Amino acid sequence: MALNGTGGYTGSEVSRVRSSHRFIPFVMASLAACFLLVGCGSGGDTAKDSGGTKPGDSTTQPDANKKKIVVGFSQIGAESAWRTANTQSIKDEAVKRGIDLKFLDAQQKQENQIKAIRSFIAQKVDVIAFSPVVETGWEPVLQEVKKAGIPVIVSDRRPDVPDDLYVTFIGSDFVQEGQRAADWLVKKTGGKAVIAELEGTVGSAPANDRKKGFDEVIAKNPGMKIVFSQTGEFTRAKGKEVMEALLKSPTGSQITALFAHNDDMAIGAIQAIEEAGKVPGKDITVVSIDGIHDALQAIIDGKLGCSVECNPLLGPPLFDAIEAVLAHKDLPKRTVMKDDQFDISNAAQVLPDRKY
């Protein structure tokens, strides 16, 4: 019905309403008959009769209008098999939980990670998570995140910043990894070795901490001496390149053991050792860190002596922490992943089920 300018019905509409009054008794009688039929029927709506709701009602679909959690994650890059597995674990877990993941690959550059974090602030994500390529230089951007009121979770590598700039860290104990690698090498060589060390990315937490742990143990063993140390940038190609150059130098002829900060560098170095006419595992004992599939195979083949595990499957604990933060639950400042260690005694047993 149309309304007139004063908010009431128009004249013609009023006339029609009045003329329709004669039908009201008939309509009321018809409605009463319908109610009686419904009340006496035996095939009533079960959901209605029981006080429930029909399928398709909004109350039976509580998640339909639920706001998705949005997480911004800045990854270091794809420098190794370990990192590839780490990335896949994070992406898979986000899909599994129905989380909107804004994932950006920094291609090994800190400036790209800082840009990514600032873009996450602008997008007003619920949580920011990242694995810092190096330890230093993060405080200004993390202060910006704190000012924006967005919680930060650190994965894999820790930044050198005040504790109040992130909620929690999830990852391995890199110092302990270096210590375990050194302990194995001391035992394997009887405490006598001339060692080359392939370090990870300069300034990164795993490179700094693995070197620290390894060097601490070696320093306690007078028969063990590190005579060469250079970065292989955590990549297979660079590990091979550096080892090739070393073996061609006067120092290279002295080397009896190699410690690589990750398996990819170790595998590259093993290729260089073989091409130089030496036998890895015999002429040069090799120990590394990560526990990837190729490293386990190298152990079985007798080329790699030991790989200390660094678990890359951080997706589940990372998103557990994210959901806990958003639920306002308390979290420990640090969660250390449980890592294993592999040599000829257990590599063949583990290899068939290896996920990375």
Biggest alpha carbon–alpha carbon distance for the chain: 116
Is the domain defined by 174-310 classed in CATH 1.10.1040.10? no
Q: Which fold has domain 70-171+313-338?
A: Rossmann fold (3.40.50)
- Tens of pLDDT along the chain (356 residues) come to 333 333 333 333 333 333 333 333 333 333 333 333 333 333 333 333 333 333 333 333 445 567 899 999 999 999 999 999 999 999 999 999 999 999 999 999 999 999 999 999 999 999 999 999 999 999 999 999 999 999 999 999 999 999 999 999 999 999 999 999 999 999 999 999 999 999 999 999 999 999 999 999 999 999 999 999 999 999 999 999 999 999 999 999 999 999 999 999 999 999 999 999 999 999 999 999 999 999 999 999 999 999 999 999 999 999 999 999 999 999 999 999 999 999 999 999 999 999 89
Identical fold for domains 70-171+313-338 and 174-310, yes or no, is yes
* Beta carbons of 204 and 261 less than 8 angstroms apart: no
- Containing 110, the helix (H) or strand (E) segment is helix 110-123
Domain boundaries, the chain: 70-171+313-338, 174-310
Distance CA 337, CA 176 (A): 12
**Tokens matching residue 270:** 């093993």
Report the chain's C-alpha Rg in angstroms.
33
* 213 contacts 179 by C-beta, under 8 angstroms: yes
